[in-house]
Every structure is written in C-alpha cells, then in structure tokens.
Amino acid sequence: MRRYAQVTLLLLLAGCSRTVLVSVPPRMDLRTYGTVGIVEFASNSERTINAHATRQFQEQIQAAQPGTRFIELGDRDTVLAAVGARQLDPTVLRKIGERYGIAAVFLGDIAYSEPRTDVKIADLQKLEGGVRAEVRGDISSRLMETTSGASVWSSSAWARRQLGSVSVSAEHGVSGSMSKSNPRDEMVPALVYQLTHDFRPSSVRQPAP
C-alpha cells in the first residue's frame, strides 16, 4: 500500500512538471513596413567589411523573416547625395522614403578597437608565461521610419577575436601563432547574429495545460 502511494505521488509530480514548448513571435516584425531600405554599414576598417556586414545583416533578417523586401541604398554619402543633403534628419529621411519607396531604413556602424595585448606570468621562477593579442568589435544598428524620422528599433552587440599568441617556457622555449585570416572580418557573422536577435522567433517552455 505504501509503495502504491509512493508511485501515485511520483506520477502526480511528473504530471505537474510536464511542460510544452511555446512559440514566441519576434520582438520586431517587419511585415508592417513593407519594403525597407538599408544603408551600407560604416566601420573604421576596410570597405570590404562594410559590404560583408551589410550582406550578413540582410541574410540574417530574411532567414528569420522570409519575404522581407530590402532595397540596397549604397553608402551614406551616396544616399545623402541622391537627395541633395549632407546629414540625416527627419526631413532628409522623408525625402529618402519618397525617392526609393521605402517605409523605413536600417543604419549600422562597426567600431574596432586597437589590438590589445595581455601578458600573463604563470611562474616567474621557471620563466613561464605568455602574451596574447586580441581585437574587439562593437556593432550597432537603428531602424528609422522615413515618414516621421523616428527610431523604432536599435540594438548593439560586441565580440572579440584573437590576433596571435606567444608562449614562453624554460623547458619548451618560445612558441607562438598568428591568425591567418582577418579577425575583424572573421567576427562579422557573430556580431550580426547577436545584433539581429530581436527579429528571430523563439520558444519558451511553459507548464502543460
């Protein structure tokens, strides 16, 4: 009888702890905007990185929300020159919207830090330690309505990548490695993936009804 009661209690507890996966819509739904424009991302690095980040941003958005219509507007100087302006303001955004037939426009920036070197001494007596160099990238973006000039979404993200490292040991001597690829370009997909989180649907577990 006691064993029966224990089994029954376990079954009741298991039933109470049952959960279901519930879909959660994205925080930002672009369907209400129809066609959106995107200005090429600006950075303090090579022009190829700007184009890479812009392309990655579109791919991430369209993967999360298929059917999203983008119009590529070029870099900021090109967009401003097209409407005879020198800086973005509500009046200029309205002109951009009318010229290209877009309801909103994405703007983005990437800022890379200067390489930072960290020195770590593991054992001073044995002359063991190492040097590591890395660079940090910060990305940010805004979605601006062209009719009002209002910012309706903004977000930022960051990532780090190692440039190279050197290890020193009395037993093994000096050894080191350098990144063969461009770490600034290499971190772009990770930066953009974090940045576009609000456009992806997600799921949470909730108690079963």
Which pLDDT tens digit goes with each residue over 77-104?
A: 999 999 999 999 999 999 999 999 999 9
Domain assignment present for residue 57? The answer is: yes
Q: How many domains does the chain have?
A: 1
Domain assignment present for residue 125? The answer is: no
Encode burial over 85-121: b for 16+ CB neighbours within 10 A, e otherwise. eeebeeebbbbbbeebebebbbbbbbebeeeeeeeee
Instruction: Output the domain CATH number for residue 100.
Output: 3.40.50
Higher pLDDT pick, 198 / 133:
198
Confidence band, pLDDT 50/70/90 cuts, at residue 172: very low
Domain assignment present for residue 13? The answer is: no
Mean pLDDT of the residues in the chain: 83
Domain assignment present for residue 102? The answer is: yes
d(CA 117, CA 104): 41
- Residue 75: burial class (beta carbons within 10 Å; 0-12, 13-18, 19+): middle
Looking at residues 60-65, what average pLDDT do you find? 97
DSSP letter for each residue of 31-60: GGG-EEEEPPPEESS-HHHHHHHHHHHHHH
- Residue 51: burial class (beta carbons within 10 Å; 0-12, 13-18, 19+): middle
Domain assignment present for residue 63? The answer is: yes
Q: Which residue has the tokens 């409407």?
A: 83
Looking at residues 35-46, what average pLDDT do you find? 96
| Distances 73 to 40, 188, 199 between C-alpha atoms, Å | 7, 20, 21
DSSP letter for each residue of 101-138: T-SEEEEEEEEEPPPEEEEEEEETTTTEEEEEEEEEEE
Rounded to two decimals, what is the model's pTM? 0.77
Residue 92 main-chain phi, psi, to 5 deg: -70, -40
Domain assignment present for residue 66? The answer is: yes
| Distances 119 to 126, 163, 165, 168 between C-alpha atoms, Å | 16, 14, 10, 11
Share of the chain above pLDDT 70, in %: 76
Contact 39, 105 (CB under 8 A): yes
Domain assignment present for residue 3? The answer is: no
Q: Enumerate residues 6+ apart whose C-beta is below 8 A from 62.
A: 68, 70
Higher pLDDT pick, 119 / 88:
88
Looking at residues 147-176, what average pLDDT do you find? 72
Domain assignment present for residue 199? The answer is: yes
Domain that holds residue 52: 20-108+136-158+186-207
**What pLDDT is attached to residue 175?**
41
d(CA 56, CA 70): 13
Element spanning 159, H or E? strand 151-169
